[in-house]
Amino acid sequence: MTTSRSALIPFLAILGAVTFLGIGTSWAKHVLFPLVGAQGTTAVRVGFSALLLLLFYRPWRRQLSWADARTVALYGLALGAMNLCFYMALRTIPFGIAVAIEFAGPLTVALLSSRRAIDFLWVALAAAGLGLLLPVVPSAEALDPVGLAYAIAAAVCWGTYIVFGKRASHLHSGLSVPLGLLMAALLVVPVGVIHVGSALLSPTVLAVGVGVALLSSAIPISLEMVALKRLSRQSFGIMISLEPAVAAVLALILLDEYLSALQWLAIGLIILASMGSTRSSK
């Protein structure tokens, strides 16, 4: 019984992470984008996340070796760049296409990390589900090349984030997560300040920014680190594919957006890939 419960921990952690992330990102795009743009939204999201977790965990009470400090710094920089590039992509290309392109990052990590034939089955199932769930691009020429470049950069950063997150997963989450977010904030907050200046200090922006920081960064990242401690890279890369499926379910519950049979099939394939990865992971 204890073993079964332990096996569920990473799955529940990732499910919680993508749920909070979907809610927080939707709120940020709806409220903050019109006020401070993609750069300002990223700045308040990551900046407040870092501040909240620094105050909560107080990582200065623990020691950190130079080697671990370098890993955490790279983990944080990848996290900050990933958030900034993704929000920048959303300015000019559709949300679904941006997500589809970004998912190339974790799926590539999963494929490159595979050592057994069964792992390729889970990758194939996850990719098939994503292909059914996300819109197909009819013509690449119709998409903004700058937006495409940002989405591809976000995919690269996501893959890098998984790699360095796994390397830092031996550290206490109260050390790696807040310090990683601090590095991410040091990267993206100056970009937001340069872009919108004092608009970031608007009471509305600050209030919403705290809520978005909790929902879309602080809580999900902490939960992801819990999962990374218990999963291999390929298992994490496949299980995080739950994100579009969870987003579709949230849209059904919160926005009355009903899904077609093919879309429900896509969700089933992604969940099957996630469950299979969890079951076969060491």
3-state secondary structure of 260: coil
Amino acid identity at 208 = V
Residues 254 and 131: their CA atoms lie apart, in Å, by 24
| 37 Cβ contact list (under 8 Å, min separation 6) | 91, 195, 196
Domain boundaries, the chain: 2-280
User: What is the model's pLDDT at position 103?
Assistant: 76
Contact yes or no for 187/84 (Cβ under 8 A): yes
For the whole model, what pTM was predicted?
Answer: 0.76
**108's tokens:** 């590539």
Q: Which residues of the chain have pLDDT under 70?
A: 1-7, 94-96, 110-111, 113-115, 133-143, 233-234, 237-238, 247-248, 250-252, 254-260, 263, 274-275, 277-282
Q: Alpha-carbon distance 47 to 79, whole Å?
A: 12
> Distance (Å, rounded) from C-alpha 267 to C-alpha 275?
12
Q: Give the Cα separation of 272 and 216 in Å (integer).
A: 25
Q: How far apart are CA 216 and CA 119, in angstroms?
A: 29
CB burial class (10 A; 0-12, 13-18, 19+) of residue 4?
Answer: exposed
pLDDT of residue 140: 45
Q: What is the pLDDT of residues 204-262, one digit of tens each?
A: 999 999 998 888 877 887 788 788 777 776 677 667 777 777 766 766 676 555 656 77
Looking at residue 154, its pLDDT comes to 93
Alpha-carbon distance of 105 to 101, in angstroms, equals 8
- Tokens encoding 276: 């299979």
pLDDT at 190: 95
